[in-house]
Structure 1
Amino acid sequence: MKWHHVKENWAAFYEAIQEKWPEVDEADLDEIDGDQRAFIAYLVEATGQEASEVRDELREWLAGEIPSDVVMDPIHDNHSISLSAKYVNEGEDEYDDDARFGDDGDYPDDGD
């Protein structure tokens, strides 16, 4: 993936970022707002690593798959969905409609 995918969909990447760098805080990610330089500087501070090490880790992370709910590519949809299954809660089908994720069928009576 490219950084512009991350920047354009910054909040959607929080879970993947926190999986790679568990030291990060979501409130700090909100402030960074997709700024790559700020993110690298933040990771240097949060992890205690050298900037060159952080840049290498970031390059490696960017070489991975884009979570399917961020950018859908019709040619690779099923492959992307399959790879993103690790971000789907247990018991939910990664191929199911996103709008239903997290719903367990208990809907309030709306009078219909």
Structure 2
Amino acid sequence: MKWHHVQDNWSAFYEAIQNRWPDAEEDRLDEIDGDQRAFISYIAELTGQDPAEARDEIRDWLTGELPSDVVMDPLHDNHSILLSEKFVPEGEDEYDDDSRFGDNE
């Protein structure tokens, strides 16, 4: 995932952040409000690392999955639906044939 996923859905990542860094406090996360530099500084302070090491640890954490709260967000879902319209040929009614999905009725 990219940082903009985290920044745009900051509060949805609280649980994932606290799973990775159990000492992270929700009040401090509220203050950070998705600011990447502030988050790096906070993780460096929390773990006793220098900022470069904390940034690398956060980069590693970003390779994980998006939390389900973010994936199921209507904005994310609607964006995915809009992107999928390129696979429906012009003039085709997407509701006509569901045989590809195991529903022939």
- TM-score above 0.5, yes or no: yes
Deviations 1:48-91 (A, max 9, x none): 1111211111011101110122024669xxxxxxxxxxxxxxxx
1:40 aligns with 2:40: yes
Residue aligning to 1:27: 27
Residue aligning to 1:68: 68
Structure 1 unaligned blocks of 5 or more:
76-112
| Structure possessing the higher radius of gyration over alpha carbons | 2
1:17 aligns with 2:9: no
Please state whether the residue corresponding to 1:69 is helix, strand or coil: helix
Which of the two has greater helix per residue? 2
Please state whether the residue corresponding to 1:70 is helix, strand or coil: helix
Residue aligning to 1:54: 54
Structure 1's consecutive aligned runs of 4 or more residues displaced over 2 angstroms after TM superposition are: 71-75
Residue aligning to 1:104: none
State how far apart, in whole Å, the 1-side matches of 2:37 and 2:51 are: 10
Structure 2 unaligned blocks of 5 or more:
82-105
